[in-house]
Structure 1
Amino acid sequence: MTAEDFQNGQILLVDKPLHWSSFQAVNKMKWALKSKLGIRKIKIGHAGTLDPLATGLLIVCTGKFTKRITELQGQEKEYTGTFHIGATTPSYDLETEINETFPTLHIDADLIHETVKQFLGEIDQKPPVFSAIKKDGKRLYEHARAGETVEIASRKTTIHEFEITRIALPEIDFRVVCSKGTYIRSLAFDFGKALQSGAHLTALRRTKIGHYHVNDAQPVPDFENSLS
């Protein structure tokens, strides 16, 4: 593709690696476009942030197609991943250390599958305290890291599909299809609570946004190499 193609607008599907922020992935691509195609200035952005500890589909829009970001962000998303049952962390994932442990002897496959039903359809969900949502002019994670307690309002979100794909306690693998704004970390925490135990997220991969699938995405280095 030419510099003009990217300026006119492209939708690029990227498979974001572990430990990269979405911002880092976009920045890498922007630098590649500028250095390899000689583009001095280009609009580029992503449709839906993935945490550094998550992998998978990141939709990146260039040029005139950046106007479509809001529309793409609003589409339903599919995730796969793993909950660790019997322990919680302040961030609801592996970003922070385990802060509390809970009994799990009462948990079996029947209880797990029965509990899933509580989370189908429209639910109330509180975002994690370690998230980028702003409260009083600061990101929630900034409040959390400063040891400040803030009241977080719950939000409506919709779980269209919630399937347990493997049970090997303390691990449970899942697949979820959900609306925009759903926090899978919060789902892990709430699911653990509903089991009369605790849980946190240990792996997360975004596999779909609307009709776009991670199987059609490419790693950032492959994108960079395609420009040379």
Structure 2
Amino acid sequence: MQEEPYGEVFLINKPLEWTSFDVVRKVRNALKIKKVGHAGTLDPLATGLLIVCAGKKTKSIESFMGQEKEYTGTFEIGKTTESFDLEKPVVDVGDPSHISILQVKEAAAQLTGDILQVPPMHSAIKVDGKRVYESARKGIEVKMEARPVSVSVFEITKFENPTVHFRIICSKGTYIRSIARDLGDILKVGAYMSSLCRTRIGEYSLEEADELDHLIEKIKARKDENL
């Protein structure tokens, strides 16, 4: 009797400073198969839930990517960076000492619902067939069009000026770094994203995810059992 083609979905807590592709490569090497991919990039400076699909389950990647995402993290107001996160040097914009939690919540309300969002220049979006971050690294300005996204929840969970703690639930294609930029623009003092964790993709929660090293050990142990 012929075996069913292999397929598996892994929920992984992406380590800080790893790229999503680093994680895919690690899983691919452990499984020793070529067909492995992730369902939605997490930036190197973000942590949290990364869904990795292997074998025939790679056909499910698009359906995972289309599901809503939930994030927690922090924004810093009063400063910004070229990439709106910590990949680029931090520069001062304005004194945030007068900003109240009420003002922050009012600004967040303006960025909630169905909104138009301009993606950051340092992103993997393609314009005229080229990734915009490649142009950004060369100092080439690319005109980015605003795109419709949906932010169903933008909750300010704590405000310790200048640090804004948040929880966001949003649609596919939403850039949290762009929300940081726009929040800073509304408050007129600048802002950037200082930390980010993806806690949910659709019905899949970070609480269900494996630490990467632990998952690799499990995969190798399983392969050893089948030898």
TM-score range, shorter chain: over 0.9
- Of 44, 64, 72, 2:36 maps to 44
Note if 1:29 corresponds to 2:21: no
In the alignment, what sits opposite 1:97? Answer: 89
Deviation at 1:116, TM superposition (A): 1.5
TM-score under structure 1 normalisation?
0.92
Deviation at 1:10, TM superposition (A): 1.2
- Of 78, 84, 93, 2:76 maps to 84
Note if 1:156 corresponds to 2:148: yes
In the alignment, what sits opposite 1:192? Answer: 184
- Of 128, 146, 149, 2:120 maps to 128
Deviation at 1:100, TM superposition (A): 4.0
Deviation at 1:67, TM superposition (A): 0.6
CA offsets 1:114-146 (integer angstroms, 9 cap, x no match): 222111110111110001111233211111111
In the alignment, what sits opposite 1:175? Answer: 167
State the secondary structure of the residue aligned to 1:160.
strand
CA RMSD of superposed structures (Å): 1.3
State the secondary structure of the residue aligned to 1:12.
strand
In the alignment, what sits opposite 2:6? Answer: 8
List runs of 5+ in structure 1 lacking aligned partners. 35-40
Using the alignment, how far apart are the partners of 1:115 and 1:99 within structure 2? 22
State the secondary structure of the residue aligned to 1:81.
strand
CA offsets 1:79-115 (integer angstroms, 9 cap, x no match): 0000000011000000000234212133101111122
- Of 53, 61, 71, 2:53 maps to 61
Using the alignment, how far apart are the partners of 1:61 and 1:141 within structure 2? 26
Using the alignment, how far apart are the partners of 1:42 and 1:153 within structure 2? 35
Deviation at 1:42, TM superposition (A): 4.0
CA offsets 1:38-59 (integer angstroms, 9 cap, x no match): xxx3411110000001000000
User: After TM superposition, which residue ranges in structure 1, 4 or more long, deviate above 3 angstroms?
Assistant: none
In the alignment, what sits opposite 2:224? Answer: none
How many residues are treated as equivalent by the alignment? 218
Using the alignment, how far apart are the partners of 2:173 and 2:116 within structure 1? 12
- Of 185, 191, 204, 1:212 maps to 204
Using the alignment, how far apart are the partners of 1:177 and 1:150 within structure 2? 28
TM-score under structure 2 normalisation?
0.93
In the alignment, what sits opposite 2:218? Answer: 226
Using the alignment, how far apart are the partners of 2:134 and 2:160 within structure 1? 35
State the secondary structure of the residue aligned to 2:194.
strand
Deviation at 1:179, TM superposition (A): 0.2
Amino acid at match of 1:8: Y
Does structure 1 conserve the Cα–Cα contact (< 8 Å) formed by 2:156 and 2:167?
Answer: yes
Using the alignment, how far apart are the partners of 2:86 and 2:34 within structure 1? 35
CA offsets 1:50-74 (integer angstroms, 9 cap, x no match): 0001000000111111111001100
